[in-house]
Amino acid sequence: MNRQTNSEAWLDVPGTWRGLVMMMPVATFTVAFGLAFGVAAVHHGLANWEALLLSTLVFSAPSQFAALDMWHSPMPLLALATVTVAIHTRHMLMSAALYPWLQPLGRGRQFALVVLMSDSNWAMALGQYHRGERNLGILLGSGIALWAAWILGTLVGVAFGGGIAQPERFGLDVIMLCFFLMMLFGGRPRLVMAMPWLAAAIAALAAYRWLPPYLHVMVGGLAGGLVAVVMPRHGEGKPG
């Protein structure tokens, strides 16, 4: 069960429960965000089951919100895939950061443990790991708490969201806009991102004007990434 080779890592029920309880305060917010997604999904014409299936299987607020704008027939699958890939490359870095912790486990177990990895439980689990925690139940339990909260919120959102006749009168159409701005500027906006973000905004606006639909998301993302790479770095090593 606990293969202890060069470093140690294990998974048990008490640890999972501890992770679940630790994530509870954040999970209450997640219910509210799930509710916002459910309401937005209903007003974008998604069926209730579509919204619920998205929340259950995708479990990612940014890509689900971004997908809403493309949810029409015929479905722009290529654009949908490109935008989702661009949003999710971040998760690749996040699971990579967890690799040292997961390394002692078998591959199947490693893959199973990142199923419910999302932004907030990743951040919490990694913080705990750096403080010496080796019980992977922290990651799993906190993921379960967020996942359940996200689905519950979506359920409430689709249940009540349909009853509102003119969503824009209540500001319901700006939920996604506000959600993304909160993700970008809430917490700790980093100054090093100023130039990449400016480049992203300009490139996206230009592409929105002159290129085929949805390409602006990819163009903006690439512009931001490139600027971050070529930008001269002052004071390398200082916290950005």
Show contacts with other proteins in window 116-175 (CB under 8 A).
117, 168-175
How many beta carbons lie within 10 A of that of residue 163, not counting itself? Answer: 8
User: Are 23 and 139 within 8 A, CB to CB?
Assistant: no
Among the residue ranges 4-12, 75-83, 133-141, 148-156, the one whose residues contact other proteins (CB under 8 A): 75-83
The nearer residue to other proteins, 21 or 177, going by C-beta atoms, is: 177
| Shortest reach from residue 62's CB to other proteins, in Å | 7
User: Are 143 and 84 within 8 A, CB to CB?
Assistant: no
Pick from 1, 13, 57, 191: which binds other proteins (CB under 8 A)?
A: 57
Instruction: Tell whether residue 19 is a contact of other proteins (CB under 8 A).
Output: no
User: Are 216 and 208 within 8 A, CB to CB?
Assistant: yes
| Shortest reach from residue 233's CB to other proteins, in Å | 9
| Shortest reach from residue 215's CB to other proteins, in Å | 10
Pick from 10, 58, 156, 159: which binds other proteins (CB under 8 A)?
A: 58
Instruction: Tell whether residue 91 is a contact of other proteins (CB under 8 A).
Output: yes
- Residues in binding contact with other proteins, number by CB under 8 A: 97
User: Are 62 and 175 within 8 A, CB to CB?
Assistant: no
The nearer residue to other proteins, 13 or 164, going by C-beta atoms, is: 164
How many beta carbons lie within 10 A of that of residue 230, not counting itself? Answer: 7
Show contacts with other proteins in window 207-236 (CB under 8 A).
208, 216-229
The nearer residue to other proteins, 9 or 66, going by C-beta atoms, is: 66
The nearer residue to other proteins, 10 or 62, going by C-beta atoms, is: 62
Residue 220, both tokens: 């903006």
DSSP string, 37-105: HHHHHHHTT--HHHHHHHHHHT--HHHHHHHHTT-SSSP-HHHHHHHHHHHHHHHHHHHHHHHHHHTTS
Residue 110, both tokens: 């490693």
The nearer residue to other proteins, 13 or 209, going by C-beta atoms, is: 209
